[in-house]
Structure 1
Amino acid sequence: MNKGRWVIQASMKHVHPAPFSSIAIPASEDPRMRTGLMDCTTFEHSCTRTRLRHRSGIVPLLLRLEWAFLLDHVASRLSFPPSMSNFSLKSEGRLTDNEIQAQAIIFIIAGTETTANTLSYVAYNLAVHPDIQSKLQEEIDEAFPNKSELTYEGVMQLPYLDMVISETLRKFPIAIRLERVCKDSTELGGLHVPRGMVIGVPLFALHRDPSIWPEPEEFRPERFTKEAKEGRNPYAYLPFGAGPRNCIGMRFALVHMKMGFVALLQEFNIRTTPETEIPLEIGKVGLLSPKNPIKLKFERRQRHEEVTPHEGEESE
């Protein structure tokens, strides 16, 4: 390598169809050289994004972030003026291929399986309690008459829907426990908690504590009216955790579930069958999931129908 030059090796074979050769970067103080380098790296970044344009999913996104870090590193080494830098991503290290795969897998597990399990529990609760299902459908039909197109604003302004999902998450919190590491030694309830100790919060037990939730085995969406929530310690209900390290996908998950169930209940009634397990038996490993499959049936709604509010009703 010639004196006065340094080389960054960019391993981007997973992005480019041909091997991506080394970039030789002049270590010159000449502003024209810096501008030229910025133009080249910006162009290469644009080419990379173009190649990824037809690839969707988590992995291509993480690959783009990895390339953005490389450009950040180049800009910082050459001390570009802030006005010239178009790169904002900062990191202490680049992602390896294994780390990219691991992040993609955890995104799928954390963002898909948890939501799917919760939707199953919501459907189960509505099938077992047709009076609650009827009340929820009335709210939906009033907000979206004649099965009109759903809107984000309209769905997020359905209070009873929010109450139904919240009560489902109380009875069936997908994460049955939380863990936090104590940052500083402290006293908690007369017990000394040293720095670095892991504190476990048993969510399943907390959400079914009869001193907080009377008759906790009963499904009662009214536990989550505005008045009821204001009169209760907010840390008694933690389906998504709390504080700066709560679930990063909480809002997306709630929107996902609400939109899905509004569309579903516009078209169908959810009913139990002779094979529906009542009460539901919970499994003992991993995320909170039923021990056996939840078996329900869906009946297409008729116009101007009325759902008879009898708990446990089965319709053939």
Structure 2
Amino acid sequence: MKQFFAIVVVCLVFGGCGPQTAREEPRSQGRSIAAVFQTLDNPFFVECNEGIKEVVSAHGDHLITLDSGWVSRRQEEQISELLDQGVSAVFLNPVNWKDVNGSLLKAQQRGVPCVIVDAPVKSPDLVVCQIASDNVEAGRLAARALRNARQSAKIVILHIRGNKACIDRIAGFEQELASRPDMEILEIEDGKGTAERSLPVMQELLAKHSDLDAVFAVNDPSAMGVISALENAGRLRDVTVVSVDGSAEGIAAVKAGKLYSTAVQFPREIGRIAAQRFYEHSSGETVEKEIRVPLELITVDNVHAFAEVP
């Protein structure tokens, strides 16, 4: 039996008996709606899920939430089983923006609408709409912050390969620095999006590039791994780190002077908008295909105006 991690209250069984594999809100007469996230280890996605659940519950429906653990194949299997269970809709945060196309096509063939959350997909014609932060602008904000911090820089980037949100962030970052040859990108490496995985990647980059003095981490968990590696190497004061998310950890790191900036996203609002657009669509209304939610840049100059951002 395939194992799923989920957020909810009553046990659902997917494909057999055994330990709890998914839980959901107490049943009403409403529909079963699913939300499938690339991970729930990142507080961003937990908040996003809460925004979805708020709207789903207000409509008398119940939400099933699954964690794909960064594994594209697992996410495909989860979606397939959810479709077999007869869910009425799927909110999807894809692990890989290309690999998910088969699952989206299957959902479309079964008449199950999909709404994409945070990380766009390659084939938007297969979904109702896509709601995400303006990720190109997020990269630009990070680059502008770095330009303010340093007159020149030798930069490494910690990426999450296959994730369109992060691809867009790097595109925006590179665009903003294109006219600055003194801001040199030495290398882009996959940090896998977590502190634990980013730490050894950053350690290798420090060994490889003794002259690096700036890091763009595509999300705050990656930045936490970068900061740990820099602290371990005694290099934190020498290297400027910029990031995206505006998580509680990221904000605390800015306050502590360990992270120069983080572009704050509004995950709960992204979740609310996604759910609202689904219900508008199900009522026969036409909805925008692409919705971009603005970000704000947090630095030491304004960090005290920000608490934990819901």
Is the helix fraction higher in 1 or 2? 1
Q: TM-score, normalised by structure 2?
A: 0.22
Is the strand fraction higher in 1 or 2? 2
Rg larger in structure = 1
